[in-house]
Structure 1
Amino acid sequence: MEFAIIAAGEGSRLRKEGFNLPKPLLPLHGVPLIERLIRVFAKEGAQQVHVIINRQSPELKTFLTHTAFELPIILIEEDTPSSLHSFALLVKSNPAWTSCCLTTTDTVFKPHEFHEYLTAFRQSDADAFMAVTPFVDDESPLYVNTDDELNVEAFLDKATAGTKFVSGGIYCFRKAAMDCALRSVAAGNSRMRNFQRALLENDLNVEAFVFEKVVDIDHLKDRIVAERFLSEEVS
């Protein structure tokens, strides 16, 4: 399985609040977000990590090319209009992929839950395996409705009476789902949530895995929440 990180966002809200480096370099307990992700992936057996960044992030490029990680970093430097386009470019650039784990850099989770998530994906036959959480932290969450067996039934912009989860921003995909991403972009979709809806519309097997909590980093105040959350892992 391949591991990939979308690190192509602008981080405009953090810049307005005084953090002038690219968001992936925001430190949690002294470790940049993207370094933390790469090292978690390495512990889970990644042979390499694919990272897509934008062309306006020279500091991030320097960090990724000069930091001594335990594994190779395969870097794509490209300006894309959305996370979905970034994912599609990763897929298009790697036609031999049969499965992948994808995250954005601002998704903070506990490593032991991530390990359980990957184990469950490998044991499943899901085309798409979505991290979900009952903890609502995102400013515009994608709500996820499932049945009792955690088969995904709907991706929603607004919660319904039966909604228990929101998307955690961590995804595992097999070939059929990756092909669907390419078709989704070709059809004019420009948001990850619309691609996720397309997975259901194309009758793919979409399953959810529950994380107790996933923290999304949009503002400097979120760093405090994330650091406190990660401290629970080692306490």
Structure 2
Amino acid sequence: MKYAVIAAGEGSRLVGEGVKDPKPLVKINGEAMIDRLIRIFIENKAESINIIINSEMQEVRRHLDSLQLPVPLHVEVKSTPSSMHSFFELREWLRGGRFCLTTVDTMFREDEFSSYISRFEESAGIGGLMAVTDFIDDEKPLYVETDKDLNIKGFRDNVYDNARYISGGVYGLTEPAIDILERAMRDNVSRMRNYQRRLVSEGMQLKAYPFTKIIDVDHAGDIEKAARFVK
């Protein structure tokens, strides 16, 4: 399994709230968020780990360069306008099978992630397995519409009747998703949520995998909340 981490955001809200460390190096229970993801990926059969950081993150680059890992690590240094554009910059490193993509501040239970990866590896005939949760603690949640078998039928910006799940920000995808990404970029599609809609409109079969809870660390107060959750 190839893994990818989008860590190119500026973390401006954390900085504005007094957090001095760059976002990837913010510690949760004493472990930097980027290190936590790398460790979890290695524990879940990582073939390679691919990370994008912005050009201002010299401290993060030095940290990543200092790591001695048992798998190849590629670090892309480029400032991008969105997570979708960051994904685009990593795309060539993710070809050749299945891959899992997430953002650096996505906090989940390790046991649930391992079960999710196992399910993705075992799932034949699907284009992607997307993490979802019914725990809503997001400023602008993306609602995921599913049928009774957890096939994804669409993505919505607003709550609707019988809405249950929102996107958890962990994307298990296959190589055809990269081709769709390239077409979406040519058509000036922006934002990950619009890319996910494009996956559905182009007929890719996506299934949802429920996590009990996923937390994004966007604010200083989220650090302690995440620490209690994953401890």
Normalising by structure 2, report the TM-score: 0.96
Give the match for residue 83 of structure 1.
Answer: 83
Give the match for residue 104 of structure 1.
Answer: 103
Counterparts in 2 of 1:155-234, with a 5 A limit? 155-231=155-231
Q: Distance in 2 between matches of 1:71 and 1:122?
A: 19
Q: Distance in 2 between matches of 1:32 and 1:95?
A: 24
Give the match for residue 44 of structure 2.
Answer: 44
Q: CA contact under 8 A between 1:84 and 1:192: conserved in structure 2? A: yes
Q: Distance in 1 between matches of 2:140 and 2:185?
A: 21
Q: Distance in 1 between matches of 2:93 and 2:42?
A: 20
Residue range with higher mean Cα deviation, 121-130 or 220-229 = 121-130
Q: Distance in 2 between matches of 1:180 and 1:98?
A: 15
Counterparts in 2 of 1:6-155, with a 5 A limit? 6-91=6-91, 93-94=92-93, 96-124=95-123, 125-155=125-155
Stretches of structure 2 that go unaligned for 5 or more consecutive residues are: none
* Structure 2 counterpart of 1:117, one-letter code: Y
* Structure 2 counterpart of 1:108, one-letter code: M
Q: Distance in 2 between matches of 1:69 and 1:227?
A: 25
Give the match for residue 5 of structure 1.
Answer: 5
Q: Deviations over 1:111-135 (max 9, x none)?
A: 1101111111112122121100000
Q: Deviations over 1:6-45 (max 9, x none)?
A: 1100000000011122211110011000000000000001
Q: Distance in 1 between matches of 2:162 and 2:199?
A: 21
Three-state SS of the structure 1 residue aligned to 2:39 is helix
Stretches of structure 1 that go unaligned for 5 or more consecutive residues are: none
Q: CA contact under 8 A between 1:134 and 1:165: conserved in structure 2? A: yes
Equivalent pairs, count: 230
* Structure 2 counterpart of 1:101, one-letter code: C
Q: Distance in 1 between matches of 2:69 and 2:223?
A: 23
Q: CA contact under 8 A between 2:14 and 2:219: conserved in structure 1? A: yes
Q: CA contact under 8 A between 1:145 and 1:162: conserved in structure 2? A: no
Normalising by structure 1, report the TM-score: 0.95
Q: Distance in 2 between matches of 1:95 and 1:168?
A: 20
Q: CA contact under 8 A between 1:17 and 1:219: conserved in structure 2? A: yes
